[in-house]
Amino acid sequence: MDKPNLSIRHSNLSNLPEIQRMFVDTISAVCKDDYSPEEIKVWTSSIENTERLIDKLTTQYFLIAELDNKIVGFASLKGNDYLDFLYVHKDYQRQGIADRLYSEIEAEAIKKESKVLTSDVSITAKAFFEKKGFRTLQKQTNIIRGVEIVNYKMVKELL
């Protein structure tokens, strides 16, 4: 379902606090069936590295989705072919927002003449990416601060 008043635009540094808050809230709520509280705590703590996030906001093709002047999602393309972020606010899941953001990211990758699009995808998001034509290259176990967090290296061939 497409939101008629949903707008997609480039992010800027003034969006940083809202992006950080949404990242934590969304993972904590949406991923709780696939990851333990300890895994979620470690995963969400990565957003506290503000310098790293500022670098991503300023060097990546970084988009936000807004609905009624509220950020309800964000996505980013690193380089020409790596989808780094794709998150939709916990209260706006399954409303076509991820589809819109993903379409914009894929279009940018194609514009940059990328042959493939890759991403490291959570257990929770894996089915969404499969529906978009991604296939799993490998299951990955990441050790972050002594905690194992599983995700998947996925790839999609672009036309």
CATH value at residue 47: 3.40.630.30
* Spatial CA neighbour of 85 closest among 98, 74, 72: 74
Residue 96 DSSP one-character state: S
Angstrom distance (rounded) from CA 156 to CA 159:
10
pLDDT digits 0-9 by tens, 58-96: 999 999 999 988 999 999 999 999 999 999 999 999 999
Specify if 47 maps to a domain.
yes
Specify if 132 maps to a domain.
no
pLDDT digits 0-9 by tens, 12-44: 999 999 999 999 999 999 999 999 999 999 999
- Give the range of the structural domain holding residue 68, as residue numbers without chain letter: 6-113
Specify if 93 maps to a domain.
yes
Retrieve residue 88's tokens: 């939709």
Specify if 79 maps to a domain.
yes
pLDDT digits 0-9 by tens, 45-58: 988 888 999 999 99
Count of the separate structural domains present in the chain: 1
User: The whole model's pTM is what?
Assistant: 0.93
